[in-house]
Amino acid sequence: MTSSRIVIALAYLEGVHLAQLVDDFIDLLGADRDVQDPALARLTPTPYPEDEEASVSFAASTREDLLDRRLLDAQTVHNALRGFRVEDDLTEDAALAPHDVVIRTTDIDAWMRTLTALRLVIATRLGITSDDDHDPEDDRYGIYDWLGYRLETVIQAADEIS
């Protein structure tokens, strides 16, 4: 890579919402995580769907490490979004004003993994298991789509510097 960072422009309000989603994700992955939660199960899929015993064994030996790595990734994204916090007196112009988010090249993969994981959690909560389950006309899917757009933005910015 020829640059040590990429810069993504977000409307201030987008940054606030993304920071809140990441904070909620960190809470989900926190010390009191419920590994029975379907969203966490979707973040730790089994490579042995046809072999129950192998699946249980694999999950027991890898789940916590994988979720801990996802937590570290989310904390990396959280740190980059520290400047985006809810303000009670935010005007419309201030909410829509673009702000740059600086992502170090060493953190790009953490960003991509976190945005992807957030989409998986939201997809689980909405019951999306295939493209047929997604209704772009239903407003509930807006965050899911927006995270996909932001993930694509990070991927494109990363491609431009490589």
* pTM of the entire predicted model: 0.91
> pLDDT digit string (tens) for 57-93?
988 899 999 999 999 999 999 999 999 988 778 899 9
Given a cut of 80, whether residue 12 has pLDDT beyond it is: yes
Sketch the domain layout of the chain as residue ranges. 5-30+68-161
pLDDT for the residue numbered 79: 97
Euclidean distance between CA atoms 137 and 97, whole angstroms? 27
> pLDDT digit string (tens) for 116-155?
999 999 999 999 888 788 777 888 889 999 999 999 999 9
